[in-house]
Structure 1
């Protein structure tokens, strides 16, 4: 082989080897950095832009796509210890002409965290309303989506600010007395009795605990490499003290049934999506909402756990779009009648 041709292959091989080696090194040595890069790339690929909004000295971090138009804007509220990027799997299946807003909940990710802040459900509702006012999202009624803790907040928000919410999607929401008990609910009772907060299943501090949390939250058994589990833990550990405080605030008596206390005040057409095999918040909560909210549409997903957004993102997006179309058609029919 000609020496110049051989050198060309060596240079080409070296050029390819550098990013491959960098990826492998990141995977093995800095998995948390790789996870952050992953979300950054996915946001760019889906056209989501990150912005900041300020209410006095309080900072909100959010991502958005599109602009307000004829169709209602969609505001998405994530669950406990998650962040705005958890919605990316659903955003992937939503039309690009919709105006989408995903906000980091109070104290999470890029939104201000303060030991003086009120992280009860009412406190979070107040903060989300400040965010809505900041970005002028309430110039006309919007569609509100919330999952788990975010579902509790979304339901109470719709009850307290009915003029701002034209429709509501609650994905396995917290804040209810669930007729059917489960293992996690029993744990909560034991937690109150023992007052031990060092072993909360939703706050892992080791890769093994992270694996157990994923099993608790998902019906689908994801095969997650040890390095990625370590990366997920590394990302969370600096925030675990805050998560413990937040967890105790939202399971406190003044917050734990807040959605139940407010559901009769919800006037907006409401959609409930729940995983039938949810081990965290029992699916029996769907009947509680259906029996109290006048215009309530319930969808129970088979072979799905608590992490509906991650396990069934395409189905979740489809159900939301179908619900929005139904609400829109119903409103048009009322106008023509």
Structure 2
């Protein structure tokens, strides 16, 4: 009997030891392949004392192309943009930073994480890359940062695309709002099942993520919860965007929202449109991350927007 118990214990240990590591291998293999397809490499740039980890189009020959910068949301990282970046790779020099407090850029208690802090940092990155202007595409918190830059750093922004942006209240409560009203923040989790719930709130459709990879992503998120709390506090301290200032924005803006967004309800779009003259569209079958859930549709909509602006500017 003891031999059987020992054998079962060994099997249990092997499962425990190999399961998360196999997920890590699968995730790393996916990221590596997706980066190769999009012709991206990982680089670091020292900006205002912060060593930013950045995914960037490989090769100096792309420097003659216009710059497109993609900005992720709270508790995300630059890998979320890989599918969309692959579609834009022939038209833009693409730069995708890990914001401070996120991804491989890392975290420091000495850094500041307000929307204005991120916006100034990304403006400095644009100039550090040798560009005067960039097309910005931001999601969620990244959308708020992008909107802030369109107004306050307009000299560095040629156009802005906001995907389900934070920064404005919604007229209807989302699942996130309902949880926050109960004193529960779904970002501050201690178990994998909490991450699964967060993921279901963020994405209403694809892409398919194997359970073993979800567990790796959950473990990575849980390990950073204490850091995310400071980032979240600074972000919340930024408050809502100033509507009067937003109304005077001259930078061309496109807003895309997922009709099934469980984090920031689509009804917030009405408040954006009430004070901002811009192009917009709702993807009714999509959640909070159009760039990951519907990359081809998001790419086409952005292309139409950019092309229309070029025609208007040339007229």
Q: Which category of TM-score, normalised to the shorter sequence, fits these structures?
A: 0.7 to 0.9
1:33, 1:243 → 2: CA distance?
Answer: 25
The correspondence for 2:261, drawn from 267, 278, 283, is 278
- How far 1:27 sits from its partner (Å)? 5.7
- How far 1:188 sits from its partner (Å)? 2.7
Moved more, 97-106 or 74-83: 97-106
Contact 2:84 2:299 in 1 (8 A): yes
SS in 2 for 1:136: coil
Distance 1:259 1:225, change over 3 A: farther
The residue correspondences of 1:1-337 to structure 2 (distance < 5 A) are 29-65=21-57, 67-69=62-64, 72-138=66-132, 141-191=133-183, 199-220=184-205, 224-252=209-237, 255-258=238-241, 260=243, 262-294=245-277, 296-333=278-315
1:247, 1:85 → 2: CA distance?
Answer: 20
Q: How many residues align?
A: 296
TM-score, length of structure 1 as denominator length: 0.81
Distance 1:129 1:112, change over 3 A: farther
1:9 corresponds to: none
1:21 corresponds to: none
- How far 1:245 sits from its partner (Å)? 1.8
Larger radius of gyration: 1
Contact 2:39 2:89 in 1 (8 A): no
Gaps of 5+ in 2: 1-16
RMSD (Å) for aligned C-alpha atoms = 2.2
Per-residue CA deviation, residues 288-331 of structure 1 (Å, 9 max, x unaligned), is 2222223x011100111112121111111111111111111111
Distance 1:44 1:331, change over 3 A: same
SS in 1 for 2:96: strand
Contact 1:156 1:262 in 2 (8 A): no
SS in 2 for 1:177: coil
Contact 1:31 1:227 in 2 (8 A): yes
2:187, 2:206 → 1: CA distance?
Answer: 17
2:94, 2:206 → 1: CA distance?
Answer: 30
Per-residue CA deviation, residues 44-93 of structure 1 (Å, 9 max, x unaligned), is 22211111111353211111226243x63211101111111111111122
- How far 1:251 sits from its partner (Å)? 2.2
SS in 2 for 1:131: helix
2:216, 2:254 → 1: CA distance?
Answer: 35
2:207, 2:85 → 1: CA distance?
Answer: 21
SS in 1 for 2:224: helix
Gaps of 5+ in 1: 1-24, 192-198
Contact 1:207 1:226 in 2 (8 A): no
- How far 1:112 sits from its partner (Å)? 4.8
1:249, 1:57 → 2: CA distance?
Answer: 19
Contact 1:220 1:304 in 2 (8 A): yes
- How far 1:26 sits from its partner (Å)? 6.0
Question: Which runs of structure 1 show a deviation greater than 6 angstroms over 4 or more consecutive aligned residues?
Answer: none
- How far 1:28 sits from its partner (Å)? 5.8
- How far 1:149 sits from its partner (Å)? 0.4
- How far 1:178 sits from its partner (Å)? 1.3
Distance 1:37 1:261, change over 3 A: farther
SS in 2 for 1:251: helix
Contact 1:172 1:281 in 2 (8 A): yes
SS in 2 for 1:51: strand
